Structure 1
Amino acid sequence: MGSISCPVSLCSQPKSLKAGYRSRSSSRMLAVRCTVGEVEAESSVASTTEPLLINAVRGEKVERPPSYQMICERYPSFRERSENVDLVVEISLQPWKVFKPDGVILFSDILTPLPGMNIPFDILKGKGPVIHDPLRTANDVAGVTEFVPEESVPYVGEALSILREEVKGEAAVLGFVGAPFTLASYVVEGGSSKHFSKIKNLAFSQPKVLHALLQKFTDSMSRYIKYQADNGAQAVQIFDSWATELSPVDFEEFSLPYLKEIVATVKKTHPHLPLILYASGSGGLLERLRLTGVDVVSLDWTVDMWEGRRRLGLDVAVQGNIDPGVLFGSKEFITKRIHDTIKKAGSDKHILNLGHGIVVGTPEENVAHFFEVAKGIRWMKKNYQSVQCVHCSFTLLILYTFVISIMIEQGSRIVISKYIDEKMYFIFKKIDNIDNFLCYLRFDCYIGRYQNLDVAYNVLNVLIKNITNDSDDYDYNIYFSVDDRVIEIIIMLLLNIYTSLRICNYFLKIFKKIYLNYFCS
């Protein structure tokens, strides 16, 4: 039980305020009820029915960012291993047994379905996957058969089921598939490519042929995702590695509509299955990747995490985006990069991962350090449902209270989270319209011109310390919901109201003295 002076009340009835905080000694959740003059707190426990990774993707509150890594090298014996259930399970579980990541990804390959579609391939030493009979004509495409995973890859379903039993809910089991354009690139080019001249030739000279091939892959991958989900996959990642070889205009024709169709088809029967999209070097396509409807967009290291979040919007979860090469650095360097990434990503809807698969030859002790640091992170978060004015020595607090209260009246969600940057940001987003990311602007764009930014930091620190009795100093991100067209009007209005209140308060003191002296004597 604590007491906080509240000279100004913005709500006629006391409402709830939920706050989660981190102290040096422990991590716990508080449910706080704020009334005029006092704060009551009681312990509550967050739900743990789902793995941490799944909760993070769904936007639920998590104590730290979930993390996992993938391998990215192929070798000649890959197919033999990936088609043997016992070996698939053993290899898939190896990282989990050693490092205990939050995700266990199926040991497989995006080309695994090809033989089941009448497209044989091999993996050759020094060359990678090779399709000996590339598909480049309408007749070639007509020979592609329907993919039936239950018949063609039964070992995948069996392996996923075993993995679910082995991890026992301590980690999320992830499956994955190739995206239509990336699969088409392999089978048209005959394997990996540097210039993608053959598939672009097909796209621009015989687009109907390519569209027919893309549709077959779309139907097959939709079915494959459902099959994986039905057999234990708790999330599925879609790899569109080569889509970024397309211009934005061509991406909209040859990749985007098929990705959207896959998502829509899967969501009809598996609405709660998280779908993760990865496209290497996707910095120029982020806004278009958002249109696919996937739950998570995986960023590589060529995109700044802060910039990626800004462009994707807060309703889309992000994965990544540490350069795999960072794991060749010192432990101090790795730690710094991890902290930088998670601070820019924020505590909502982020999966900590590399921006690509882990590179062969990476020191194992550095991989262990990556997970050790990731698991040691604890978010301090406030999820404000209502806030009343809390007395402190900084006058800006009244202004903050008015802003927060107006946002709350509009049904907004307000989150304060720890941030390492030297600036404070306001993100304005209409909470009931996830399709519109309305505005992103810097804190000192408006309020900062009137008050020193350091004062603003101090105000928030005092507010948090008063509520949680936490002695740590924090920098914060503030997430507000509001129509961007009224932001400047509201802030200017609040400044005027604040000035008026100070004047009114001055006169009220005078009237109080007059009343006490002349009417109560």
Structure 2
Amino acid sequence: MIEFPPLKNDLILRAARGEKTERAPVWIMRQAGRYLPEFRKEREKHDFFTICRTPKLATLITLQPINRYDGLLDAAIIFSDILVIPQALGLIVEMVPNKGPHFPSPLETPADIDTKLNKNVDVYKELGYVFDALTMTRQALEGRVPLLGFIGAPWTLMAYMIEGGGSNNFSKAKTWLFKYPEESKRLLQIITDVAVDFLIGQIKAGAQMVQVFESWGGELSPHDFKTFSLPYISQIADRVKNKFKDDGLIPVPMTIFCKGSWYALESLSDIGYDTISLDWTIDPAYAKSVTKGKVTLQGNMDPCMLYGGDEAIRSTVKTMLEAFGTHEKYIVNLGHGILPTVDPEATRVFLETVHSVGLDLNKNR
């Protein structure tokens, strides 16, 4: 076992486990990266995936928001990308400026599963740089806050691997689901197996909590979600947790984020995740009623609210905290990743308000 500095702030871990907290913890999806000037300075010198593959650089970037917002964030999340799994499977992924991820040779037909993919992935060989970055970052944090790891969910990764990047309608990926359902399930299972090994490795390397991003979950109908997403994200939670239980260890908290999949909240609360992250289209009262206190909830402020000015941010945070509560089973976050053009000082207002309003509400309850 790797020795790490003692943890000084375990607020988010207690919230994820459903314990009472003195205030609601807060972190931000994509808090390390594109909106910070100190990150953009590094990007001028290094390619995106070079940063991901260089533990010293990934550590530097992960710590940037922790240092900038000293004492205001309750977690760090490792700087990486969900598309490192497709890379480990043998596909080339490029990060194109002003466009995003691009696959020069995506999967086109089911035959490509056997000709283009490495189906015997050794995650320690292919993704060891992520593990090294986690260990290095955990040491560098010196216990200030917990360190989060993450992966992309199988359907989301499959969609990227077939579409060749982002998409407006996911017609290519959905063609696979409807025309080649069994082959699609085979591909989803291949991705799932790598995802499980990758998460286990992240936790062993130092991740104290992990999140699974089903970013394109809302592109599926409820029926298709149950067929092509739910079984695989369920497997991930079950297999990762059982691995640590079998080794006599307590599993770390796990979060699932299925953007746009409001219809799946009840199912998501029953598949072994400790926390469900919500996008901004879900009403807090509805989420609480459907999940029935089985899980901790996370989210769900519209990222665009950070453009609204200080008063709008403060008002929205107060309303959100009043709706979700501040002392049990709630983690503050945005409803998706922070946008690249957000003013870092608007982020500071958001974080400071979470602290001040949360403490005030807890005093008055």
Aligned to 1:268: 242
Asked if the contact 2:8–2:145 (Cα under 8 Å) also holds between the matched residues in 1, the reply is no
Aligned to 1:92: 62
Partner amino acid for 2:60?
E
Tell me the SS of whatever aligns to 2:133. Answer: helix
Work out the CA distance in 2 between the residues paired with 1:178 and 1:157: 16
Work out the CA distance in 2 between the residues paired with 1:241 and 1:205: 23
Asked if the contact 1:176–1:239 (Cα under 8 Å) also holds between the matched residues in 2, the reply is yes
Asked if the contact 2:75–2:145 (Cα under 8 Å) also holds between the matched residues in 1, the reply is yes
Q: Which has the larger radius of gyration?
A: 1
1:317 aligns with 2:296: yes
| Match of residue 289, structure 1, among 268, 284, 290 | 268
| Match of residue 53, structure 2, among 80, 83, 101 | 83
TM-score calculated relative to the size of structure 2: 0.87
Aligned pairs for 1:467-478 within 5 A = 474=364
Aligned pairs for 1:439-478 within 5 A = 474=364
Aligned pairs for 1:100-499 within 5 A = 100=70, 101-143=73-115, 144-145=117-118, 146-270=120-244, 271-346=250-325, 347-378=327-358, 474=364
Higher helix share: 2
Report the Cα offset of residue 322 of structure 1.
Answer: 0.8
1:60 aligns with 2:19: yes
Partner amino acid for 1:83?
R
Q: State which drifts further: 348-357 or 114-123.
A: 114-123
Tell me the SS of whatever aligns to 2:131. Answer: helix
Report the Cα offset of residue 89 of structure 1.
Answer: 0.5
Aligned pairs for 1:21-40 within 5 A = none
Work out the CA distance in 2 between the residues paired with 1:142 and 1:78: 29
Could you list the per-position Cα deviations for residues 238-296 of structure 1 after superposition, in whole angstroms to 9, with x for gaps in the alignment? 00011211100010000000111111100112352111111222223222322332111
Partner amino acid for 2:351?
F
Tell me the SS of whatever aligns to 1:113. Answer: helix
Partner amino acid for 1:372?
E
Structure 1 segments unaligned to the other structure (5+ residues): 1-47, 381-416, 419-471, 477-521
Identity of aligned residues (%): 36
Structure 2 segments unaligned to the other structure (5+ residues): 1-6, 35-42, 245-249
Tell me the SS of whatever aligns to 1:203. Answer: helix
Change (3 A) 1:117 1:366: same
TM-score calculated relative to the size of structure 1: 0.62
Tell me the SS of whatever aligns to 2:111. Answer: helix
Report the Cα offset of residue 49 of structure 1.
Answer: 6.9
Could you list the per-position Cα deviations for residues 126-150 of structure 1 after superposition, in whole angstroms to 9, with x for gaps in the alignment? 3311112222333211242233221
> How many equivalent residue pairs?
338
Work out the CA distance in 2 between the residues paired with 1:170 and 1:53: 12
Tell me the SS of whatever aligns to 2:19. Answer: coil
Asked if the contact 2:14–2:20 (Cα under 8 Å) also holds between the matched residues in 1, the reply is yes
Asked if the contact 1:103–1:174 (Cα under 8 Å) also holds between the matched residues in 2, the reply is yes
Could you list the per-position Cα deviations for residues 368-426 of structure 1 after superposition, in whole angstroms to 9, with x for gaps in the alignment? 1222122224558xxxxxxxxxxxxxxxxxxxxxxxxxxxxxxxxxxxx86xxxxxxxx
Change (3 A) 1:378 1:133: closer
Asked if the contact 1:92–1:106 (Cα under 8 Å) also holds between the matched residues in 2, the reply is yes
Work out the CA distance in 1 between the residues paired with 2:270 and 2:22: 29
Aligned to 2:3: none
Q: Which runs of 4+ in 1 moved over 4 A?
A: 72-76, 377-380
Partner amino acid for 1:287?
E
Work out the CA distance in 2 between the residues paired with 1:216 and 1:351: 32
Report the Cα offset of residue 50 of structure 1.
Answer: 6.1
